[in-house]
Structure 1
């Protein structure tokens, strides 16, 4: 059976980047830390570190053990927080990062199940670029990140992507703008003013390919990193804009626009990205179960 005290010493050294630095942070002698790690390696029958000049670097096995250790000790911290919140009657914090390309209404639909839990939950939402949110997720400043794509493979972040929902894309316009369009959908989009999501949005490239395949060339009059800002411009009549079809009724009602057509081949998916393989935070589990 794994000695969790020794595992914690290994985790501390790996995170600190060396025995001396971990010793300074923990107050334990370097010899004590080295001895504990050597005992752990002997009991597991593996090598966790190798020397590279004067530095200690993780072996491939060490990298794997570290990923498990991070999850184990993160769960321990989360358990303490949950028990403390329950004992004091305080709401359990649920820290969510929302990528700025995710429509606000979609974020609400995905997160709403967490508000129906028997234990009180306090949602703390932060909106930003996906890469910055993933950086905060990696150091446990966030519990989960909502995004329109899985964890990018080039990101140096250990994480897992859980698909929550997917939807085709529809296009919307004000009544006044819709009246100026010529012909049937989708041909009416040719040379019509179009608002597009920015280059970070996963749906942008499939939408452009969909238009190109049909030889439709709209006039792109605006590009927006923030989906809410794109919708605001669309509501003002600046151009046709796109949004998930599952929000069509809500968008038409709230923004006084009409749906002019649907692109069923263009599918937008939404993910919860977490640092854990198995979801343990009760709010994240509620969000995942509702998909």
Structure 2
């Protein structure tokens, strides 16, 4: 078994052909270098140096071992540099999860800011429902996720970011489009298009109806926000989506919103990660950055 302290003493001595210079580079005494060299030679059962006058000369065996030692300590230096670059966020990968809606309407701003600050880091973005993204943390697929908080989990830490308003959207031609307000009970028989299972939006809508002792009359469920908006605009049904996802269509007049008599409803948006897992430098930098960006939603 090689002793790396002995090999290191040999490498620096062979590199400079001087025990004195090796001792200076390793910040130890010359007798300590000499002792390490003798121990290595004894372990290898061969002479690694010869003396020619006052000069050290590598033996054939010593020269062969030096070539391997040079590769080892060159790679050690490269590894040390890599670790330093990781600490300084000059290299690394951020594994990030979010919902399809946030991926389109929110994450470009966050990722853009992050890339400006840490241009050398690679970013891998995974999309799915809020529940799927929480499970991706537990499966160690993602380190950090930005989601609606669907449910608590003992292994997941949630840090609130903001609250998003959910709005009722209808076609401008729909019979309730001109109403000042409408109650949830009045929506009971309206065909409604809902987000997929595991979605924070879907859970909030079902909870809203459940408080009135009702079930929504579901026409279709989908993870595709654009499909929901298109179907609502055609008059196929009504839906609840976050205000930011429909702002452009409402302004253009292709969709209309109707306030609820029960008052506005909000979706809690959080950044989440595993409680007992150490965050990588890239993930920690992302969390710190997100917490400093105002008015994301």
- For the aligned pair, the TM-score class normalised by the smaller chain equals 0.5 to 0.7
Q: Note if contact 1:149-1:202 (Cα within 8 Å) is conserved in structure 2.
A: yes
Structure 2 CA distance for partners of 1:209 and 1:189, relative to 1, 3 Å: same
Partner residue, 2:239 = 241
Partner residue, 1:207 = 205
Structure 2 CA distance for partners of 1:241 and 1:139, relative to 1, 3 Å: closer
After superposition, give the CA deviation of every residue in 1:73-130 in whole Å (9 maximum; x if it has no partner): xxx9x965635862xxx6x532211245757324445545424426444432111355
Counterpart of 1:82 (choices 81, 86, 97) is 86
Say whether 1:270 aligns with 2:269. yes
Unaligned runs of 5+ in 2: 1-79
Q: Equivalent residue of 2:181, what SS? A: coil
Distance in structure 1 (CA, Å) of the matches to 2:124 and 2:225:
20
Tell me how large the CA RMSD over aligned residues is: 4.0
Q: CA deviation at 1:166?
A: 1.0
Counterpart of 1:290 (choices 287, 290, 293) is 293
Counterpart of 2:258 (choices 252, 260, 264) is 260
Distance in structure 2 (CA, Å) of the matches to 1:112 and 1:284:
14
Q: Equivalent residue of 1:270, what SS? A: strand
Unaligned runs of 5+ in 1: 1-75
Partner residue, 1:169 = 166
Distance in structure 1 (CA, Å) of the matches to 2:127 and 2:255:
26
Partner residue, 2:22 = none
Q: Equivalent residue of 1:153, what SS? A: coil
Structure 2 CA distance for partners of 1:84 and 1:195, relative to 1, 3 Å: same
| Counterpart mapping for 1:149-168 below 5 A | 149=149, 152-153=152-153, 158-168=155-165
Say whether 1:186 aligns with 2:182. yes
After superposition, give the CA deviation of every residue in 1:23-43 in whole Å (9 maximum; x if it has no partner): xxxxxxxxxxxxxxxxxxxxx
Distance in structure 2 (CA, Å) of the matches to 1:127 and 1:150:
16
Q: Equivalent residue of 1:163, what SS? A: strand
Distance in structure 2 (CA, Å) of the matches to 1:206 and 1:133:
17
Structure 2 CA distance for partners of 1:185 and 1:123, relative to 1, 3 Å: same
Structure 2 CA distance for partners of 1:232 and 1:284, relative to 1, 3 Å: farther
Q: CA deviation at 1:268?
A: 0.4
Q: CA deviation at 1:170?
A: 0.7
Greater Cα offset, 242-251 or 181-190: 181-190
TM-score (norm 1): 0.54
Distance in structure 1 (CA, Å) of the matches to 2:133 and 2:215:
35
Aligned length: 207
Structure 2 CA distance for partners of 1:116 and 1:215, relative to 1, 3 Å: same
Distance in structure 2 (CA, Å) of the matches to 1:254 and 1:160:
39
